[in-house]
Amino acid sequence: MNLHIGTERLRAEILADGGCIASILADGRELLLRTPWAGLDDGAPMTGSAAEWHRRYRGGWHLLLPRPLGPATVGGIAQPFHGEAAWRKWRLEQISATACQAQVLLRSVPLTVDRTMDIRDGELRVTTTVRNEGPAEVRFGWAEHPAFDAGLFDGGRVDLDGKDVPVVPLGAGAFEDRSMSTGRASVLGPDGLAVDLRWDAALLGRAYVWQERRATTGFPWYPAADALAVEPASQPHDHPGDDLGTLTLAAAAELTSTVTLTVHTRPTV
């Protein structure tokens, strides 16, 4: 199942599979990474959730929760690579031509996640509410994982709180984990294309910048992925493997936060 929302200027496709925002079209131009094997889920699964994630990975924008990092066993419960939320089937509901809602109840922790995607002019607003359905405090991690088509930004840069991370050339890869004083990042292309991300840095105080520019000759990329991801996150990437994350939510409590994506075309200099 999938839903489409948007305006003539900006459109998005949302999948029940993982609650993934699979496509963001800005004036007809696809902004998000789409792997050549997107949607090809047939065949035998691979051993281990990290390998299976990469076998099926389509690109797009996933929510990574309750453990947004590598696979781990926490409290006797196996947590898959990038967290249970990105593996589940979400319930989708169309609200209007420009908005929809997605919901999932996790089983590895007693959390319900509601996401509303709303497009207004050149802005996509993703508002997420996490609610603790259990009788005790829950500890968890949270990361947003929008992966862009890096080819659109070739020769450009990522601005993180006013500090630049260059887009690496084709054939290279890179990874950055930065502490964020404000939740402001911009992905800037040399032709004037700019994608601005804004979020609550008090909640998501890190930003990961993952670049895979057809650099990996073996599995999983071969090298067929040209990706640039800017990922607001609640914990450092080297967070201990025996813990879900740095956030806590009391019994019956909920937490709401919004990430906005705005597309601009700026004059080149």
User: Residue 242 is inside which H or E element, if any?
Assistant: none
C-alpha to C-alpha distances, 258 to 26, 111, 116, 124, nearest whole angstrom: 20, 18, 9, 10
Q: Which two tokens stand for residue 61?
A: 């924008």
Place of tokens 């984990």: 177
Q: Which residue has the tokens 């862009």?
A: 148
> What's the CATH code of the domain at 256?
2.70.98.10
Contact 218, 80 (CB under 8 A): no
What is the Cα–Cα distance from 57 to 251, expressed in whole angstroms?
A: 34
Query: Using one digit for the tens of pLDDT, what is the confidence trace for 159-191?
Result: 999 999 999 999 999 999 999 999 999 999 998
45-63 per-position pLDDT tens digit = 999 999 999 999 999 999 9
8 Å CB contact between 141 and 235: yes
Whether residue 220 is preceded by a cis peptide bond, meaning omega within 30 degrees of 0, is yes
Higher pLDDT, 268 or 22: 22
**How confident is the model at residue 152, as a pLDDT?**
97
Q: b/e for 18-45, b at 16 or more Cβ within 10 A?
A: bbbbbbbbbeeeebbbbbebeeeeeeee
Please give the structure tokens belonging to residue 246: 């740095």
Kindly state the percentage of the chain with pLDDT values over 90: 93
For residues 198-223, average pLDDT: 97
Residues belonging to the chain? 269
User: Which residue range forms the structural domain that includes residue 168?
Assistant: 2-265
**Local confidence band at 43 (pLDDT 50, 70, 90 cut-offs):** confident
- Give the 3-state secondary structure percentages of the chain, helix then strand then coil, rounded to 5: 5, 50, 45
Local confidence band at 27 (pLDDT 50, 70, 90 cut-offs): very high
Mean pLDDT of the chain: 96
Q: What is the C-alpha to C-alpha distance for residues 12 and 31, in angstroms, rounded to an integer? A: 10
What's the whole-number mean pLDDT along residues 259-264?
A: 96
* Model confidence pLDDT, tens digit, residues 132-160: 999 999 999 999 999 999 999 999 999 99
- Identify the pLDDT of residue 121: 82
C-alpha 167/C-alpha 195 separation (Å) is 14
Q: How many helices (H) and strands (E) are present in the chain, helices listed first?
A: 1, 22
Give the count of domains, the chain: 1
- Predicted confidence (pLDDT) at residue 235 exceeds the cutoff of 70: yes
* Helix (H) or strand (E) run with residue 70 in it: none
267: confidence class by pLDDT, cuts 50, 70, 90: low
What mean pLDDT is predicted for residues 200-210? 98
Q: What is the pTM of this model?
A: 0.96
Taking only the tens place, the pLDDT of each residue in 59-75 is 999 999 999 999 999 99
Backbone CA torsion sign across 197, 203, 205, 210: negative
pLDDT exceeds cutoff 70 at 268: no
